[in-house]
Amino acid sequence: MDTNTELIKQVTERAQEWLSDAYDAETRAEVRHMLEAEDKTELIESFYRDLEFGTGGLRGIMGAGSNRMNIYTVGAATQGLANYLKDAFKDRKEISVVVGHDVRNNSRKFAEIVANVFSANGIKVYLFDNFRPTPELSFAIRELGCQSGVNITASHNPKEYNGYKAYWDDGAQIIAPHDINIINNVNRIKSVRDIKFEGNPELIQIIGKEIDEKFLAAIEGLSLDPEVIKRHADLKIVYTPIHGTGVEIVPESLRRYGFKNIIHVPEQDIPDGNFSTVDSPNPENASAMAMAIAKAREVEADLVVASDPDADRIGCVIRDNNGEYQLINGNQIVMILLNYIMLRNRELGRLKGNEYVVKTIVTTETIKAIADNNDIRMYDCYTGFKWIASVIRENEGKARYLGGGEESYGFLAEDFCRDKDSVSAISLMAEICAWAKDRGMDFNQMLQEIYLKNGYSHEEGVSVVRPGKTGAEEIVAMMKGFRANPPKELGGSPVITVKDYSTLECRDTATGDVTLMDFPTTSNVLQFFTADGTKISVRPSGTEPKIKFYIEVHDKMADMADYDRCNRDAAAKIAAIKKELGI
């Protein structure tokens, strides 16, 4: 029997199990349609494996099947999590959780399934009355003293997807040891009949405006210069939620900060799980910002900001030296926000010597220069906001968190929430625009000033996609090749340091000396540092069939007019490095 015939036989057997009366009529009809179809592609994709509950939860295409997001895969994940919570907090009289969701198709339905399963297991549930930003769920877990939380969201993925994010009692996404323990509990759910779907309404409490109010008040307290906003309250700010959860709360936060001229993109103010005006609802892509940029040109806006569908990531557009609206990258967003927070804390006399900031290892090293210039400690951590939250947790009560972020357009200005937050980031970005204007500068000039004082950097990310089984093998081979034969030179500068996070070894290439890095666990990441400050990071994606390269080059600006030259030189250098790496 050939491999394909054997695979079809296996998925057919699995699919037929879904025709039992344990599944609803709609699901059975969808499965029957796949079984009867001549083309077996959809059947294979839906049943060739179980949708894996990973360290961040679930994410997948919606539909019937074991490899799809549906009420049964969501129910199994929740039953496994409920079982673990009852074990981990067995000494508590009451275990409670918060459940939220975004605007995606089926998100409310899945959130209600989650609430029912938790309550059927005797767990108290605080269920949001409607869609809310992901960071507000994190805030609510802490505010209500809950032990866990679940958000139904697929972030900025295409419309076909949905997801399930699990949180712990500190409001952060789950890390060791709870991540593995929860995965093990979820994997023990072998039958749909193991899932308690019949909810207990007495244990489900609807929450909403009262949490909004507390969340917004806390964010308003982050403002570092209310007076400068009063002087520039009419700043023209274009904002788009890209059909997502930020539609009401972000403009309200901007108003509470004192901004009076918030300009909407009406077509994208409509919550819409199909994200009908964009190909992809990802604010880091210029195409997703096109309508907002068109509106900015129309009104001559000072700033353009956006949030992704679950309002945890921020997109930002400013005018360049030629007056054209240009997207700034995630590194620049984090750098601008941290620079302002550090400077203003210094100006306000709030620095006591125990402050710190956090970035991920693939985020720009210019942040380290800014922190050093302000005598503020900087922590490096792995990619993902759960690791930034872990640093905050470790420093709780010992040091003061000023902010942290990652190059993938995520920033967190506060510690009352433990996941990236576009609501506070957008509010502060608007304040920074007003602050720059008060100093006689536009946003672009302020960005150039940061580079002039702290050194210029330019970053570019490259994702090399290698789908399928052979692609996965190729990615493994690429990482082995880089470990066995690391580059000796990049962009005309010798490689002087190699960091391998799979062994936590940092090697000096000149002396061969190896030191161990202090990280909580290992990770399949390689970094190469050159004598002229170039940094190359390489890591396979944990969720997609791709290997990611993060290229960062550095330079010195002689003066503000030197910015364009630095940009040109950096682009040429990055192009050369990509050629050397074969990407």
Q: How far apart are CA 383 and CA 267, in angstroms?
A: 34
pLDDT band, very low/low/confident/very high, at 1 (cuts 50, 70, 90): very low
Q: Quick one: pLDDT at residue 4?
A: 81
**Hey, how many other C-beta atoms are within 10 angstroms of the C-beta on 265?**
22
Q: Quick one: pLDDT at residue 213?
A: 98
**Hey, how many other C-beta atoms are within 10 angstroms of the C-beta on 396?**
10
Is 14 a domain residue?
no
CA dihedral (133, 134, 140, 143) in degrees, to 10, reads: -110
Contacts of 440 (CB under 8 A, 6+ apart): none
Q: How far apart are CA 330 and CA 539, in angstroms?
A: 18
Q: Do 180 and 284 sit in the same domain of this protein?
A: no
pLDDT, tens only, 527-546: 999 999 999 999 998 666 78
Q: Do 270 and 151 sit in the same domain of this protein?
A: no
Domain boundary among 454, 484, 515: 454
Domain boundary among 151, 183, 203: 203
Q: Quick one: pLDDT at residue 463?
A: 93
Domain that holds residue 430: 215-454
Q: Quick one: pLDDT at residue 81?
A: 97
Q: Do 507 and 558 sit in the same domain of this protein?
A: yes
Average pLDDT over residues 312-321: 95
Q: How far apart are CA 504 and CA 518, in angstroms?
A: 7
- As for how many domains the chain has, the answer is 3
E strand segments, 116-233? 124-128, 148-152, 161-168, 204-207
Q: Do 549 and 536 sit in the same domain of this protein?
A: yes
Q: Do 413 and 498 sit in the same domain of this protein?
A: no
CA distances to 70, 72, 104, 547 from 160, rounded to whole Å, are 12, 17, 9, 23
Q: How far apart are CA 548 and CA 581, in angstroms?
A: 12
CA distances to 8, 33, 37, 66, 150 from 4, rounded to whole Å, are 6, 20, 16, 19, 38
pLDDT band, very low/low/confident/very high, at 56 (cuts 50, 70, 90): confident
Q: Do 192 and 220 sit in the same domain of this protein?
A: no
Tell me the whole-structure pTM to 2 decimals.
0.96
Q: Which has the higher per-residue pLDDT, 544 or 477? A: 477
pLDDT, tens only, 276-312: 999 999 999 999 999 999 999 999 999 999 999 999 9
Q: Quick one: pLDDT at residue 237?
A: 98
Is 97 a domain residue?
yes
Is 22 a domain residue?
no
Q: Do 238 and 358 sit in the same domain of this protein?
A: yes
Q: Quick one: pLDDT at residue 467?
A: 80
Mean pLDDT of the chain: 96
How far the first Cα of the chain sits from its last, in Å, is 39
Q: Do 372 and 423 sit in the same domain of this protein?
A: yes
Q: Do 473 and 505 sit in the same domain of this protein?
A: yes
Three-state DSSP at 333 gives: helix
Is 251 a domain residue?
yes
Is 530 a domain residue?
yes
Q: Quick one: pLDDT at residue 3?
A: 62
CA dihedral (239, 240, 241, 246) in degrees, to 10, reads: 20
Question: Does residue 352 register a pLDDT over 90?
Answer: yes
Is 557 a domain residue?
yes
pLDDT, tens only, 218-264: 999 999 999 999 999 999 999 999 999 999 999 999 999 999 999 99
For residue 51, give both structure tokens. 């949708």
Q: How far apart are CA 350 and CA 555, in angstroms?
A: 32
CATH value at residue 292: 3.40.120.10
Q: Do 442 and 299 sit in the same domain of this protein?
A: yes
- Rounded to a whole number, what is the largest CA-CA distance in the chain? 77
Q: Quick one: pLDDT at residue 2?
A: 60
CATH value at residue 502: 3.30.310
Is 43 a domain residue?
no
- Which is nearest to 457 in space by CA: 373, 353, 573, 374? 573
Q: Quick one: pLDDT at residue 321?
A: 87
Q: Do 84 and 220 sit in the same domain of this protein?
A: no
Q: Quick one: pLDDT at residue 52?
A: 87
Name the active-site residue from 96, 155, 457, 523: 155
Is 250 a domain residue?
yes
Which of 92-101, 133-142, 345-354, 542-551 shows the lowest mean pLDDT across its residues? Answer: 542-551
Provide the percentage of residues in the chain whose pLDDT is more than 70: 99
Provide the percentage of residues in the chain whose pLDDT is more than 90: 94
In which element (H, E) is residue 238 found?
A: strand 237-240
Q: Does the annotation mark 20 as catalytic?
A: no
Q: Do 227 and 337 sit in the same domain of this protein?
A: yes
Three-state DSSP at 39 gives: coil
Average pLDDT over residues 427-447: 97
Domain boundary among 454, 469, 494: 454
